[in-house]
Amino acid sequence: MAYTVINLGCGKTRIPVSIGVDKVKIEPFVDVVHDLGDLPYPFENGYANEIHMYHVLEHLDAPVEILKEIHRILKPGGKLHLRVPHFSSMGAFTDITHKRPFSYFSFDCFEKDHYQHFYAGCIYKILDKKIKYFGLYPNAGLYAKHIHPNKCFWLFKPFVHGINALIKISPLFFERFWCYLVGGATEIALVMKKPNAK
């Protein structure tokens, strides 16, 4: 069986062998033209092994419904790679098309043991979640290779790594007490998995 990858809101990016989806036909990046605010998406249940959605969810009105729709499209065991702006980022509010920013804890309700999981309507397992101080660095994998190459002045790199390390100690303490003291964090990066069928 083919390994299927979808890039939702791809814009002018191309992940190799992926299906690029956006509401505007941008050659040669967009394969399927669809407004991501309109549900359902034009894919069958259990269609994709992997879905990428980078800095798109904040532009949409119903993030819970969108994540339920992505859950429908993913195969059991499929992964969602997601990036959204952190609430302390200047970019979270300067873009007039943004509907909302997000917190480190915004997606926890999709995990089955979370006390509010019954509001989510579907279950994901969060495999990886981090607040990133600087969105362009450090990045790795497909994101660095095809979406945002690493860009950071070399003198600034140790500072970025240091802030990221401090954030990792306690994301809650960062959000509660000192996120604005360092000018805010850029984004939250997550990998979420649709549980395997029982």
The per-residue pLDDT for range 24-76, each reduced to its tens digit, is 999 999 999 999 999 999 999 999 999 999 999 999 999 999 999 999 999 99
**Integer Cα distance of 157 and 180 in angstroms:** 20
Helix (H) or strand (E) holding 171: helix 171-173
pLDDT digits (tens, 9 = 90+) for 140-196: 999 999 999 999 999 999 999 999 999 999 999 999 999 999 999 999 999 999 999
Q: Which domains does the chain have, with CATH numbers?
A: 5-193 (3.40.50.150)
74 in Cβ contact with 46 (< 8 Å): yes
CA 130 to chain centre: 11
Q: Which residue has the higher pLDDT, 90 or 83?
A: 83
58 in Cβ contact with 92 (< 8 Å): yes
What average pLDDT does range 76-91 have in this prediction?
96
Asked if pLDDT for residue 121 goes beyond 80, the answer is: yes
Task: Return the beta strands (E) in 68-136 as ranges.
Answer: 74-85, 125-132
Average pLDDT, the chain: 95
Give the pLDDT confidence score for residue 113 in this predicted structure: 86
What average pLDDT does range 87-112 have in this prediction?
94
Give the pLDDT confidence score for residue 198 in this predicted structure: 65
The encoded tokens of residue 85 equal: 């702006």
